[in-house]
Structure 1
Amino acid sequence: MRRVVVTGMGIVSPIGVGKSEVLQSLKDSKIAVDQIKSFDASNLPVRIAAEVADFDPEAFIDKKLVRRTDRFVHLALAAAKEAIEESQIDLKRYADRAAVLIGSGMGGFITLDTENNKFLSQGASKVSPFLIPMLLINMASGIVAIEHGLKGVNFAPVSACAASGHAIALGTLLIRHGYADLAIVGGAEATIAPLPIAGFANMKALSTRNDDPKRASRPFDIARDGFVMGEGAAILILESEEVAKKREAQIIAQIKGFGMNDDAYHMSAPDPNGAGAEAAMRMALKDAQIEANEIDYVSCHATSTPAGDIAEAKAIERIFQDRVLVNSTKGLMGHLLGAAAAAEVVVGILQMQNGFLHAMPNLDEKDPEVKVNVVGKRIVPLQIRNFIKNSFGFGGHNVSLVVGRYEG
């Protein structure tokens, strides 16, 4: 099988637009959670989120296309632009062998919410003729392919908060087995709108720290009370090792292995013992053909929910005891849902390149049921050889990725 390498990354997140801004925010332990500013949330039970501030889609996308696509597509196109530029790849040369897999949990939900309100208040004639293509989850993959003329395998993994983890795993699989020579993979999500906020709030999934937003997202902390909605996109350029070497690309990381399974337990709650998460990590290690002692860091899914954080910690403990360091980027940028896995892979690679793990500024008191070695309030210097990125989604979906330094 062919080895799969990373040659480009792009990210649009609440803690920064672009890798350089994100890296600085990680070093500064910047928390992006705040009062919602994109609409009036005063009548909602939850009024906080992690929004992407100062993002002008027209800086990345044609004005007409902006009007005809949802915000999650705007975020995906911007992240793809940065990733493609870093990879310095001539996409036209590989157009027939270039796959695009961009996952999302909810797709064009802002458009759906807005257009439904117009339908109810103004009638059917006022609904946008672009409603359907704007809300379709596969449209991020489709528009990226259209914009760059890419004619290979193209679809959108949809597995809630594991979606972009699946995109990376499946892109790796396509390249390994020769169905593609390169893959543009990742995720995009933009669901900070009244209806999804109300829905998540009513199922008691969100933090209700409306008066203290900076302290709301607190993975592994004893006082955590739910996740904070975030938005953003992250894209990676994956290539076969042969293609990357032939074109003398700068290889920045390697996707070494993956594991995918399902808890088959509950529609939204994790298996409390973390059995599925453990199995996914063990599958990823086996697929990567490395031992547990070769993993230096676990980038946790840990969303700051009472049950989820403990289940994942139990799974990690059974494999690694307290030997590896763990953190969760959701403490800084909230939960990007379907885009979370890809964004956190980008963060993991940035940390690997720069020799540190970002801090967990809201970890005041670790939950005593969490036995793993969680990074605290200060950055930890660490030379990372390999790391695991965990992603779990409603429906019991589990994905674990092993990402590491390229060993040419």
Structure 2
Amino acid sequence: MSRRDVVVTGIGLITPAGAGRDRTWSGVCAGTGTAAASPELKGLTVDFCGTAPEPGPPTAAMRRKTWRLDRFTRLALAAAREAVADARLDPATWPGPRVGVVLGSALGGINTTLAQLTRLREHGAEYVSPSLHPMSLVNMAAGEAALEFGALGPSLATVTACASGADALATARSWLTGGLCDIVLAGGAEAANTPLTVTGFERLGVLSRRRDDPPSASRPFDADRDGFVIAEGAAVLVLERPEHARARGAPPRAVLAGCGSTTDAHHPTAPHPGGAGARRALAQALRDADVTPKEVDHVNAHGTATALNDAVEARVIAACLPHGPSVTAAKGALGHALGAAGAVEAALTALTVQHALVPPTANLRRIDPSVPLDLVRGAPRPQHIEVAISNSFAFGGHNTVLVFRKP
């Protein structure tokens, strides 16, 4: 292990494919879409989305505090509980000052903000909850996780749009390799399937309008793709330094070996047409992991199913990794969970390395002839994987690439 390696010892997921890591993994491997019409979006031009199940609080005491948590925080806590259990950690006995939390989100508690705005307009100021800000601030998922698990080390929120979850993992790795923490809960959460959010993206022209068949609407790298499907969910990974995990006998699922981060400084919402920033992020991540491009066996693509982003990303992958690693895109099955997407896809990349199995890209029926990639489709592909990367690109020009290795 390199001194800059950290290991993934626990994974928690809650997505439109189901509550829990195993249900999400099975759903992605099934290669079918999960989007459906939403009563909350009725009457809109785009009236469908990917909806995660409502997480149930594990104890009566936690049930009593659920009322003061926005949905994005409830999703984050559900994923964090599973990740901590998966890592075989006991928060009652761990060294709290050496445990950190970093959770990303793009929009945070937007459900709470909109609900309280409605109260203000319809009933007056006295009906606005004093918990408005403690529920809606973007950092509150991290704060509530630290509170629940007794994590007394650093905690913060990363807010880089659709790269937020990936940037959380990169931040956690720097805390661990810098000696600041022994354990970090890192990931992302999003619950923004609101009429306002959906309308905003629809007005930008980036959403699929396949109202007649929502499950097949998200089509990454397909010749007939017409936009992404908004979704919600959360992923939390437990990261540790290798020696800390070994000392307590915790087997790693994968190694987070490298991170790359750049900014396009080109346009608020469109990627650089040549993918310059994405290329630099990928090269940075490989150098950081001390691996060569030809050693990359697999790519979990950002794969939004928008015409421009898929085309640019495909060119970047083909140019930087010309030997043709396998490529998949989870958003075909799960939709686009915005600030949680990078963490969800990082978790799936770690599982791909562990299980030596590449999930297919759902709804990929006719590969865009301009996309020169070895795209996995139809069924999962067994593949021994030593090195895999996970791409996350975001509004604001943020580019983040993570490198995972087999332990």
The interval holding the TM-score normalised by the smaller chain is: over 0.9
Query: SS state of the match for residue 95, structure 2?
Result: helix
Sequence identity percentage? 38
In 2, Cα distance between equivalents of 1:215 and 1:250: 37
Paired position in structure 1 for 2:21: 19
Query: SS state of the match for residue 271, structure 2?
Result: coil
Q: CA deviation at 1:97?
A: 1.1
In 2, Cα distance between equivalents of 1:152 and 1:183: 9
Paired position in structure 2 for 1:139: 140
For 2:52, the aligned partner's letter is V
For 2:12, the aligned partner's letter is G
Q: CA deviation at 1:59?
A: 4.0
In 2, Cα distance between equivalents of 1:401 and 1:27: 21
Q: CA deviation at 1:382?
A: 1.1
1:3 and 2:5 aligned:
yes
Paired position in structure 1 for 2:212: 211
Paired position in structure 2 for 1:58: 57
Tell me if structure 1 keeps the 8 A contact 2:303–2:310.
Answer: yes
For 1:30, the aligned partner's letter is T
**Equivalences for residues 88-99 of structure 1 within 5 A:** 88-91=88-91, 92-99=93-100
Report which stretch shifted further, 127-136 or 349-358.
Answer: 349-358
Tell me if structure 2 keeps the 8 A contact 1:12–1:233.
Answer: yes
Query: SS state of the match for residue 162, structure 2?
Result: coil
Report which stretch shifted further, 395-404 or 116-125.
Answer: 116-125
Q: For the aligned residues, what is the CA RMSD?
A: 1.3
Q: CA deviation at 1:172?
A: 0.4
In 2, Cα distance between equivalents of 1:398 and 1:228: 21
Deviations 1:163-200 (A, max 9, x none): 01000001001111111111110000000111111111
For 2:244, the aligned partner's letter is V
- Compared CA separation, residues 2 and 290, structure 1 to 2 (3 A): closer
Listed as ranges, the gaps of 5+ residues in structure 1 are none
Query: SS state of the match for residue 256, structure 2?
Result: strand
Listed as ranges, the gaps of 5+ residues in structure 2 are none
Tell me if structure 2 keeps the 8 A contact 1:15–1:21.
Answer: yes
Tell me if structure 2 keeps the 8 A contact 1:15–1:30.
Answer: no
Q: CA deviation at 1:255?
A: 0.5
Query: SS state of the match for residue 57, structure 1?
Result: coil
Q: CA deviation at 1:275?
A: 1.1
Q: CA deviation at 1:27?
A: 2.9
In 1, Cα distance between equivalents of 2:113 and 2:325: 43
Query: SS state of the match for residue 62, structure 1?
Result: helix
Paired position in structure 2 for 1:46: 46
Q: CA deviation at 1:351?
A: 2.1
Query: SS state of the match for residue 57, structure 2?
Result: helix
Q: CA deviation at 1:215?
A: 1.4
1:69 and 2:69 aligned:
yes
Deviations 1:302-351 (A, max 9, x none): 11111101111111111112510111000000001111111111112222
Q: CA deviation at 1:241?
A: 1.1
Tell me if structure 1 keeps the 8 A contact 2:300–2:345.
Answer: yes
Tell me if structure 1 keeps the 8 A contact 2:227–2:306.
Answer: yes
- Compared CA separation, residues 2 and 391, structure 1 to 2 (3 A): closer
In 1, Cα distance between equivalents of 2:234 and 2:125: 32
Paired position in structure 2 for 1:28: 30
In 1, Cα distance between equivalents of 2:45 and 2:126: 32
Tell me if structure 2 keeps the 8 A contact 1:322–1:373.
Answer: no
Q: CA deviation at 1:352?
A: 2.1
Paired position in structure 1 for 2:358: 357
TM-score (norm 2): 0.96
Deviations 1:83-109 (A, max 9, x none): 000111233432101110000011001
In 1, Cα distance between equivalents of 2:323 and 2:307: 20
- Compared CA separation, residues 361 and 186, structure 1 to 2 (3 A): closer
Paired position in structure 2 for 1:82: 82
Deviations 1:287-315 (A, max 9, x none): 00011122110000111111101111111
Tell me if structure 1 keeps the 8 A contact 2:48–2:214.
Answer: yes
Report which stretch shifted further, 296-305 or 316-325.
Answer: 316-325
Q: CA deviation at 1:237?
A: 0.4
In 1, Cα distance between equivalents of 2:167 and 2:263: 12
For 2:132, the aligned partner's letter is L
Report which stretch shifted further, 308-317 or 320-329.
Answer: 320-329
Paired position in structure 2 for 1:394: 395
Paired position in structure 2 for 1:280: 281
Query: SS state of the match for residue 278, structure 1?
Result: helix
Query: SS state of the match for residue 94, structure 2?
Result: helix
Tell me if structure 2 keeps the 8 A contact 1:297–1:386.
Answer: yes
In 2, Cα distance between equivalents of 1:128 and 1:173: 37
Q: How many residues align?
A: 403
Paired position in structure 2 for 1:317: 318
**Equivalences for residues 275-314 of structure 1 within 5 A:** 275-314=276-315
For 2:166, the aligned partner's letter is G
Off by >6 Å, runs of 4+ in structure 1? none
For 2:85, the aligned partner's letter is E
Query: SS state of the match for residue 58, structure 1?
Result: coil
Q: CA deviation at 1:18?
A: 0.7
Report which stretch shifted further, 378-387 or 308-317.
Answer: 378-387
In 2, Cα distance between equivalents of 1:114 and 1:194: 12
In 2, Cα distance between equivalents of 1:299 and 1:383: 15
In 2, Cα distance between equivalents of 1:142 and 1:151: 10
